[in-house]
Chain A
Amino acid sequence: MQLQLQQVLPVYFDENHRTGSEIWRQDLTFTKGEYIKIVAPSGSGKTSLMHFLYGMRNEYNGNIVYNTADLRNYTPEDFAGYRKDHVSIVLQDLRLFPEQSVQENIELKRQLNPFHPAEKIREMAERLGIGNKLASKSRICSYGEQQRVAIIRALMQPFDFLLLDEPFSHLDDKNSQNAMQLMLEEAKLRNAAIIFADLERIDWFPYTRIFHL
């Protein structure tokens, strides 16, 4: 299981961006079990990269290849399978269903391809300190709480790669460490890779490789 970047550059970036970047216009291979840290200042294309890897957008030159298949050749059905079985994501903008409860938001992901039984939702929520929020609509939860919901949601499915796009932007250090610990355990369970993009280095992520975008 590997994810390859082949000379990828967003079409809306000019060629200057490639100078100094360790990702754009490079040939890179990420394999299962790796912990990849991507340090990226604002505007360097961090969210674009995550969207490209998850197949949400394709405005890039070059190729992204999962195993042997180029994401450009994926049909909508292929993407559904890719996101259901192989790649999970915590997006910077969270994207929860505002009118559904926390429990429902997580269950909608879990039922698609359950890696954990339904009871695991409560267990994880308790562990991240949002156990009392399960019945609340997600739109009345704070950003920090919503961020933890998005993290738990991402951990409900099987995956080879877990993509994290500034997952702790609204969390304090203690909650962040707590959530990171949970994600590391879950990644280990699946022998999966984590690709973690953030503005700066975070000490409690035990990366095996680091790249500057």
Chain B
Amino acid sequence: MVVSFKPIRSLLQTGTNTGSRWFSYVGLGIGVLLLLCSIQMYINIQQLLGGESQRKEGSDFISISKTITNETMGQLEKNLFNANDIKDIADKPFVEGVSPLTANRFRVQLSAGDIIPFSTDMFLESLDNNFIDTVPPNFTWKEGQDYIPIVFSSDFLEIYNVFAPGYGLPQLSAETASQVVVFITCYGQNGEKQTFRGSIVALSDRVNSIIVPKNFLDWANNKFGNTTDVKASRLYIKTRDANNPDFLNYLQQKNYKVNKDKTKFGRVKQVLQGIFSGLGIFGLLVVILALMLFSFYLQLMIARSKDNLQLLLMMGYSPNWLSKNVSKQFIPVYVLVVLVALALTEGMQWAFHHFAMFDRPELSSLLHWGVLSTAIFLIGLSLLTNYRMVRKLLYKLV
């Protein structure tokens, strides 16, 4: 059946309520704009504050230590975490994983050989690989191997670069630092010593330490420090949310020290996400409101054209065909409204990236695909709701 809808269009009296129709279009546009902007900003925050170097598998990693007070000073046992402490923390529902930071129990000296005339006493720590943000495949050690891979804190490199010129040492870029071979000398209690070669295989933003493979440190503590039961002075905790009030309360109650800055950072992020979630929900409400307003307009239109529509149905026009064609009339305007909102969102994103974020590489000037698919979803949703309503009203007229 090739039936033209053109002669029928004039039978649908839009009459005097053009104003309310445009009002609902504008409302829909504002709602869609708010919703799309909120989604885009939400994604921006995720990308800005939740970069790969800070988070692994979407969790927060925090290091905690026992607060050293005047009373506990000098009592090593009280300032270290024992197995019970670790088990207690690991059992908490808000904790996804715990790993002790184990330190060396023997003297370690580091020298840079002939290239950089530099030598210092230092410390080594080990941590479960899962807790390190950057673990290259060669971060392993086997007994008998005289080469030790090191994961080095990016902060330490920065500190080194600050004081190096004062000591006549060369400043190092991250790339050069990883090429420098250093000599690590371990001293045992009975005067024995052994020298290993080492090099930086990765820089870590998360762990403020010098990390060596765990099996190496366990072996070395046993050999040079004569101890197998090494208690941890720091614990790394993996948690879904570092700002979980239960978690923070627990730390406070146990008098554990936590990196405040990290939780503050998380809190800021949480507040921002909250604001944009709120805005998004508000936008969604406006969209729903606009769709409702539009449905009232449609109902009014159908009520006003009731006689004509009834006559068409009486003449043998299919109610399904009529509903489809009546709702099709609004496709161009819906697509236009959503496209305008998309264009404005894109402008907002470009301006935000360019002027507020100075083209930071984590962000894109283009819209996230999630925003685009939301826009398509909204067009589909409005057309579907229209079609269903028109169809329902027309079937009543038959």
Contacts and interface: CB of A to CB of B under 8 A. Distances in A.
Interface in B1-44: 1, 3-4, 7-8, 10-11
A56 B1 CA distance: 23
Interface size class of A (residues with CB under 8 A): 20 to 34
B317 A80 contact: yes
A108 B312 contact: yes
A100 B10 contact: yes
B311 A80 contact: no
Given A56-B314, A76-B395, A79-B398, A104 B319 contact: no
B8 A95 contact: no
Contacts, number: 55
Interface string A24-58: 00000000000000000000000000000010100
Interface residues of B, number: 21
Contacts of A13: none
B316 A83 contact: yes
B159 interface: no
Interface in B311-344: 311-321
Nearest to B310: A95
A95 B316 contact: no
A135 interface: no
A113 interface: yes
A97 interface: yes
Contacts of B8: 108
A132 B237 CA distance: 92
25 contacts: A56-B314, A76-B319, A76-B395, A77-B319, A77-B320, A80-B316, A80-B318, A80-B321, A82-B316, A83-B315, A83-B316, A84-B318, A97-B11, A99-B10, A100-B7, A100-B11, A107-B7, A108-B315, A109-B316, A112-B3, A112-B316, A112-B317, A113-B1, A113-B316, A157-B316
Given A79-B398, A99-B10, A104-B7, 14 more contacts: A56-B314, A76-B395, A76-B398, A77-B320, A82-B316, A83-B314, A83-B315, A83-B316, A84-B318, A108-B312, A111-B3, A111-B4, A113-B1, A157-B316
